[in-house]
Structure 1
Amino acid sequence: MTNSEGARPNKWPWPPMLLAIAALAAIGLCIVLPVPLPRNDAVVWIGYLVAVFGFALDGWAILTMRAARTNILPHRAADRLVTWGPFRFSRNPIYLANTLLLIGIGLAAGNGWFVPLALLMAVLVDRLAIRREERHLAIRFGNAWIDYAAATPRWLIG
């Protein structure tokens, strides 16, 4: 087991860093070059619902990991393979929740920059964190990880 793959998946906690960068960039870009979204009640309420769902999914995933007594920090080694709770539906419910949270905030606030930056953040998280985390989990948990990954989508589909 190499230090870069077996001991921990990443040197940096990319997902929360990318979440913060995407949110700050959306706010800054909105000031410089606004991309407004429709400001009707339906869009605003859909935004609130998506943001609340993202926040709730994030909380559920964090509480599930805490109950499993495993590390939650994305740049530290996993202690246990968590396959229940929201992890039954997605191998990455926290990253999915972060993406939904940003999209919901953008819709509710009428800031069109949040949506593409949330999607860009998701792609970057996939490339900088998820792929490395999956190699790490395969090394640490072997066949249990392989079976779980075969049965559970990375996001929600696929």
Structure 2
Amino acid sequence: MNAFRSKPLKYPWPPLLYGLAILAALVLERIASLPVPQFQSTVAWITGASLTIAAIWLNVWAIKTLLESRAPAMRRRSARHLVTRGPFRYTRNPIYLGYTLMTASFGLLTGNPWFLVTAIIAATITTSVAIKREEIVLLSRFGCDFESYCKHTRRWI
């Protein structure tokens, strides 16, 4: 087995990326405010609050599933077994999906469309920087089991 492929990420890039996405949305709103269609602010706020609750619930459920499965919640440690239950039945990256939903929900809560833009950018960068590397590590560790899991479970949703 290639030693490079068996090592997980040394730094948790996705939380940093989403933190930068939130910061960028705030800065961009001050520099170049986008026109927002006048859509009932109460509806947008309720939708944003619902997405925030869903994102928090998804992250808690995913971390709880990892802890119950005795799998590392931080990707800096190597997984000993493949977790395919809980939210991992529906998405291979429920925590990153939660981060994306949370970032997008801030846009609805605040009326700042830059949050939606930066959420998409953060998800795209997370896919290339973290997820693809994690998938290589999992494929090298779990082989056919991981390939089968990938065939039945989407990367995002």
On whether the aligned pair clears a TM of 0.5, the verdict is yes
Q: Distance in 2 between matches of 1:104 and 1:36?
A: 18
The aligned residue for residue 128 of structure 1 is 129
Q: Distance in 2 between matches of 1:79 and 1:30?
A: 44
| TM-score between both structures, scaled by the size of structure 2 | 0.92
Shift of 1:7: 2.6
The aligned residue for residue 103 of structure 1 is 104
The aligned residue for residue 63 of structure 1 is 64
Q: Distance in 2 between matches of 1:36 and 1:117?
A: 16
Q: Which amino acid aligns with 2:114?
A: W
Shift of 1:107: 0.6
Q: Which amino acid aligns with 1:30?
A: E
The aligned residue for residue 25 of structure 1 is 24
| Number of residue pairs the alignment of both structures matches | 155
Residue 103 of structure 1 contacts residue 114 of structure 1 at CA under 8 Å; is this kept in 2?
yes
Shift of 1:152: 0.7
Within 5 A, what are the aligned runs for 1:7-156?
7-8=7-8, 10-35=9-34, 37=36, 38=38, 40-156=41-157
SS state at 2:143 partner: helix
SS state at 2:155 partner: coil
Q: Which amino acid aligns with 1:22?
A: A
Identity fraction in percent? 37
Q: Distance in 2 between matches of 1:48 and 1:106?
A: 11
Q: Distance in 1 between matches of 2:24 and 2:3?
A: 33
Shift of 1:36: 5.4
| TM-score between both structures, scaled by the size of structure 1 | 0.91
Against the structure 1 CA distance between its residues 56 and 129, is the aligned structure 2 distance closer, same or farther, given a 3 Å change threshold?
same
Q: Distance in 2 between matches of 1:36 and 1:70?
A: 45
Shift of 1:115: 0.2
Q: Distance in 1 between matches of 2:21 and 2:65?
A: 26
Deviates more, 1:28-37 or 1:75-84: 28-37
Q: Distance in 1 between matches of 2:76 and 2:17?
A: 13
Q: Distance in 1 between matches of 2:7 and 2:127?
A: 20
SS state at 2:6 partner: helix
Q: Which amino acid aligns with 1:132?
A: R
Residue 70 of structure 1 contacts residue 79 of structure 1 at CA under 8 Å; is this kept in 2?
yes
SS state at 1:60 partner: helix
Gaps in structure 1 of 5+ consecutive residues:
none
RMSD: 1.4
Against the structure 1 CA distance between its residues 148 and 111, is the aligned structure 2 distance closer, same or farther, given a 3 Å change threshold?
same
